[in-house]
Every structure is written in C-alpha cells, then in structure tokens.
Structure 1
Amino acid sequence: MAVSKKPAAAAAAAAPPDQDAPSFEQALERLETIVEELEGGALSLEESLARYEEGIRLSRRLTQTLDQAEKRIERLVEEEGQAPTTRPLDLEVEKDARPGAEGQLPF
C-alpha cells in the first residue's frame, strides 16, 4: 500500500497559524530594517548573508500572506453564479487633499 505524501506547501497552508509568528506589519517592519542594514554597508559578510536569508524568508511569507488576502477578497466579491472577480483598490487621493509641508498627506 503506497503512502500518499502532501506537498510541504499544502501542509503548511493547512496548518494553524503560528502563535509566535510576527504579524504582517511586524514582519514588514523587520524586512525594512534588514534592507536599511544591508544598504548601510556596516555589516560583515556573514552578518549580511544572515540578514539576506532572513529577508528572503520574510519576503516570501509576506507575499504568501498577500496572496491569501487577495483570494479571500475574491471570494468576498464573488457574485452568485459568476466567476470571482477582483476589484482594484482605489488609492487615488482626493483633489483637495494635498501633501503637507513635509510631503505627508493630511490624514
């Protein structure tokens, strides 16, 4: 009798989320810190490689999280009897909202 093995990605998707894992925002902030450290050039080669590897892992996790969110949105906007559609998020700033003195938006 052959034993069926699930692919690692399918098993990971079915597993409950790790309670100790950082939130999306925390992971993104850590990735930004890693980029700044690497761009700063003050790290040794070994430190740079370790940060790069961590950054790649974080980037993949963040991408996976965004992909899952997109799929959830597609299901939410699905209409009865029709294929799911995606609707772009309108990020255009209103004409009256102009950047402040520091280039920041007023909200």
Structure 2
Amino acid sequence: MALRILVVHYSQTGQLTRIVRSMLAPLAGQSDVRIDWHAVVPEPAYPFPWTFRTFLDAFPESVYLDPPAVNAPPSEADYDLVVLAYQVWFLAPSTPLAGELP
C-alpha cells in the first residue's frame, strides 16, 4: 500500500513551492509514495509586488484569521500525511491558507 501525502501550499512568488518540492524530492522518487499537490488560490488574487496600502490593508484579516474565498481542496480524505506550506503574515498563517483551515 502506497504512502499518500497531500501538500497544501500557497506562495505568491513560487519560492515556497520550490522549497517544499525540494524537501519532498527524496520521497517523490519512491514507487510506494504518492504525493498530491494542492495550490491554494485566493479570490481575488493578491497583487505582487504589494503596494504599501495593500500591505497595510491585509493586516486586520491576517490577525483575525478572516480569510478570502479560496479554491476547494481535494475531496479525498485518506492521506497518511498532510503538509501545510505557508508564509507567516503578521504573526499568523497567511490569509489564503487560513481559508483552508476549519
């Protein structure tokens, strides 16, 4: 039976995604390991690079964990490991990833 891993990630620049792929590369090459990737996409998308006003405007939502609407994660729930890869915004999980948390 294969080890099933779900990676839930959000990255505006792609840097975090590259880091997680690098960390999981030894497992990705195994025939008995299946890795599913779920990129969190907020609606509307955050601009990049951020303007100063946009940066300050994101503060309240981040602190109060008031997330935007995001795309749905995979409906399958039988995973042996779930990896959450996210940046910290204002000492809290980034708001797009907070949208994935119950």
Whose Rg is larger?
1
Could you tell me the TM-score, scaled by structure 1's length? 0.22
Return the TM-score normalized by structure 2.
0.23
| Larger relative strand fraction | 2
Higher helix residue share? 1
